[in-house]
Amino acid sequence: MSEEEIVSYLQDQKITSARRIKRRTGPTTFENTPTVVLTVNSTYTPEFINFGYLRVRTRPYYPSPMQCFKCWAFGHTKVKCRQETATYGNCSENHEIPAEGPKCQQLLFCRKCRSSEHSLASRPCPEYRKENTIQKIKIERDIDYRAARLIFEAGNCQQRSYADVTRKVNGPTSNTEDSDRRNNDLLKTISEKDLIIANITTSIESQLIEAAKNAALVDRMD
């Protein structure tokens, strides 16, 4: 069945679109697989889809991280890339990528995680796995990418110090300690403000409770 026929058959179950997953069989040829990605016009995901005599169990679809194959950054595609010179995925260098002939002979290097064990296109790359986890958080909690990234970083800040983060970004320089100190001062300021807000909230709640008690006492006197 075509994707249009699938949507037509399942529209009474609030299915608005269907995209069949295809398998590559050659350089330019593909074949259909039994897996279909469905979009549901509903506030919840149905556990099953009834298709003829079949009752098919559904599962969430986690899209792969959006990655540019020109600069290899996440969050955009090659069409919208602003980098002028393409980055070769094998060595992370900016040089012309030949369509034919010998490929890059330089050693493997991934500049995203500073590893010489794999290329920029490697899925076991820690940066790729991070983006993959953010995508799963986005889908499971039905939130946008920015919120999912904040949740991921909040969960990882307990495992890594700010010094680790700044060392990864800036390298092992003397500025790392300064950055770490500034970040710790910022955290301290935020904690102090949170304590002030908590005290104000407690005071307001106490006043409201006292006002309610006084109002009840007046009612009894009346």
For the chain, what are the domain ranges? 3-57, 78-159
Name which of 114, 127, 140 is nearest 62 in CA terms: 140
The amino acid present at 181, given as its one-letter code, is R
CB atoms within 10 A of CB 120: 24
Q: Which of 20-29, 54-63, 136-145, 164-173 has the lowest mean pLDDT?
A: 164-173
Q: What is the mean pLDDT of residues 134-148?
A: 87
pLDDT for residue 132 is more than 80 = yes
Q: What is the pLDDT of residues 59-73, one digit of tens each?
A: 999 988 989 988 898
CA angle 74, 132, 148 (to 5 degrees): 85
Strands (E), the chain: 15-24, 30-40, 48-51, 54-57
For the record, the structure tokens of 156 come out as: 């990882």
- Predicted TM-score (pTM) above 0.85: no
Instruction: Quickly state the pLDDT bin for 126 (edges 50, 70, 90).
Output: very high
Query: Does 216 score more than 90 pLDDT?
Result: no
Rounded Cα gap, residues 87 and 91, in angstroms:
8
165 has pLDDT over 60: no
pLDDT at 93 over 70: yes
Residue 93: CA count within 13 A, CB half-sphere: 11
User: How far is Cα 52 from Cα 13, in angstroms, rounded to an integer?
Assistant: 12
